[in-house]
Every structure is written in structure tokens, then in C-alpha cells.
């Protein structure tokens, strides 16, 4: 049970990271184009 909970937690964290990557990419492109 505890292992499953830890795995689910890490999966949720990875989902947050993957969902934030596009935002970071857009911000990077904005900075590059402005530069």
C-alpha cells in the first residue's frame, strides 16, 4: 500500500512537471524572440 501511494505521488509530480514544460518553452521562445 505504501509503495503504491509513493508511486502515485511521483506520477502526479511528473504530470505537474510535464504540464509546466510547455509554459516554460513558450516563455523561453518569448525571451528569444524579444532578444
Where do the domains of the chain lie? 1-35
Q: Is the pLDDT of residue 30 over 80?
A: yes
Q: How far apart are CA 26 and CA 35, in angstroms?
A: 14
**What pLDDT was estimated at residue 16?**
83
**What pLDDT was estimated at residue 10?**
72
Q: Is the pLDDT of residue 28 over 80?
A: yes
- Let me know the angle formed at the C-alpha of 27 by 24 and 25, rounded to the nearest 5 degrees: 40
Q: How far apart are CA 10 and CA 5, in angstroms?
A: 9
Q: Is the pLDDT of residue 27 over 60?
A: yes
Q: How many residues does the chain have?
A: 35
**What pLDDT was estimated at residue 5?**
57
Sign of CA dihedral 19, 21, 26, 30: positive
In this predicted model, what pLDDT tens digit does every residue of 11-25 receive, in sequence order?
Answer: 787 788 888 888 989
Amino acid at each position: 500500500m505504501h509503495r503504491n501511494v509513493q508511486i502515485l505521488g511521483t506520477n502526479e509530480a511528473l504530470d505537474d512537471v510535464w504540464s509546466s514544460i510547455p509554459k516554460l518553452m513558450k516563455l523561453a521562445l518569448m525571451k528569444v524572440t524579444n532578444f
